Amino acid sequence: MSHDTARILLYSDDRTVREQVRLVLGRSVASDLPPIEVYEAATQPAVLAAVDAGDLDLLILDGEATPSGGMGLCKQLKDEVPECPPALVLIIRVADSWLATWSRADAVSSYPVDPVRLPAAVAELLRARLSQAV
């Protein structure tokens, strides 16, 4: 992670979901972390290209995205990308937590986008990522 900014890739085919997540995250998720930069992707190929390009600190993947869901995409990335950034999957049903575990997601957050829980989960993942980089 660059100590100047934390780079987050946000994947959802739904523009309103991307807007909600951006709004909830703001410019910083915690005072002890650097500001964040959120990059958006609406398709699986765009996510794959961004991850292949590297320099990302966190992935936020929409489990309800179509035609490629965030959980399947997370599984693919974790299986195929060495040193894949941590991934948080957005889920609509609490019962989908087991699928997120299967996908090797590092964290989950439920819909509707929670303005307290989502930034807290993102902050926790970024702190872990930052401590690995040191």
Q: Residue type at 97?
A: S
For residues 104, 82, 87, 53, the Cα torsion angle rounded to the nearest 10 degrees is -150
Instruction: Record the pTM.
Output: 0.94
Q: Work out the end-to-end distance of the chain between its first and last CA atoms, rounded to an integer number of angstroms.
A: 9
Residues sharing a CB contact under 8 Å with residue 57, sequence separation 6 or more, in sequence order: 1, 6, 7, 8, 85, 86, 126, 129
The answer to whether 59 and 74 have CB atoms below 8 angstroms apart is: yes
pLDDT at position 3 is 62
- Residues of the chain scoring pLDDT < 50: 1
pLDDT at position 131 is 83
> Alpha-carbon distance 120 to 51, whole Å?
23
pLDDT at position 1 is 47
pLDDT at position 37 is 97
pLDDT at position 132 is 79
Sign of the torsion formed by the C-alpha atoms of 73, 74, 78 and 82 = positive
Kindly calculate the radius of gyration of the chain based on its CA atoms and give it in whole angstroms.
13
pLDDT at position 85 is 96
Domain 6-133: CATH class, spelled out: alpha beta
For the chain, how many residues are written? 134
Domain ranges (residues) in the chain: 6-133
